[in-house]
Amino acid sequence: MAHVTHEQLDRLLEQALLLDDHGALARQLDSLARLYESGEVSRAAILVMAAEEWRQAGQPAAALDRFHEAARDGGDVLVDPRSGIADTLFELDRPDEAREVIAAIRGGVWNPATALTVAETLVAYGDLEGAHEWATEGAAACAQGTTMREALLRTRYRIRVDLGLPEDDLDASLDIAR
């Protein structure tokens, strides 16, 4: 079994960047997740990283499996793994399932980082209205002056421009933060 540290993951990521081999990194992360016993990083977070690497390697089905495993694991992660499930389902041309997952996320407890991820996914797949809702609600859930709030407001602003909406008070607050 393995005790996983941030340093260990950083080394793996550096090696993968040098080799430009996402598949190899995904396999290494899969192995770490299988051997996981404890660590500074949760097993679920390792599975999410593996999922992202499988996506980069052009293996969305493997990515979907890892995102599902991370969601079942329930360990501490920055972004709800279900947002990765939804994004991957869109990628696999299964939009109805993706929207069901997003509805399930909305119906539960979510954090601003998850809201940003869902908003970006919806933008990528053409649902600007849905993306606007997620970015707006995510920004409302953030404390003033945080990096996450600024990221959500910037995403929201770009969406509003694409939708042809006029500037509002939240847009103006972004101008103040610049």
Does 24 or 154 have the greater pLDDT score?
154
- Alpha-carbon distance of 149 to 141, in angstroms, equals 8
Task: Write out the H or E segment, with its range, that includes residue 36.
Answer: strand 36-39
Cβ contacts of residue 12 below 8 Å, gap of 6+?
Answer: 25, 28, 29, 32
Interval 101-146: pLDDT, tens:
999 999 999 999 999 999 999 999 999 999 999 999 999 999 888 9
Q: Phi and psi at residue 143, in whole multiples of 5°? A: -70, 150
Whole-model pTM: value is 0.87
Each domain of the chain, given as residue ranges in start order, spans 1-77
